Amino acid sequence: MKAVVNQDVCIGCGMCAGDCQVVFELNGDKAQGKEIPADLVDKAKETAANCPVQAIEIKD
Ligand code: SF4
């Protein structure tokens, strides 16, 4: 699974990168998502749900 951040929606608050740094990183003023290790899928989904602007999609 992969985390995808909608670059048009992300406000660069940094929550996701701080909460789940294996999967999300800030790149300039936007977050980028990466492949999600199997043991972090639940955590990544939780982080996505907590994004204040719902910019994160978890894809198969
Ligand atoms: S939590 Fe959402 S708005 Fe904040 S940096 Fe991550 S993707 Fe962007």
- Gap from CA of 5 to ligand 1 centroid (Å): 8
| CB-ligand 1 contact for 40 (6 Å cutoff) | no
Amino acid at residue number 53: V
Domain span including residue 25: 2-59
- The per-residue pLDDT for range 15-42, each reduced to its tens digit, is 999 999 999 999 999 999 999 999 999 9
| CB-ligand 1 contact for 44 (6 Å cutoff) | no
Q: Domain holding 11: CATH number?
A: 3.30.70.20
- How high is the pLDDT of residue 3? 98
Number of structural domains (the chain) is 1
- How high is the pLDDT of residue 14? 98
The reported pTM is: 0.95
Contacts of 22 (CB under 8 A, 6+ apart): 34, 37, 40
| CB-ligand 1 contact for 48 (6 Å cutoff) | no
| CB-ligand 1 contact for 32 (6 Å cutoff) | no
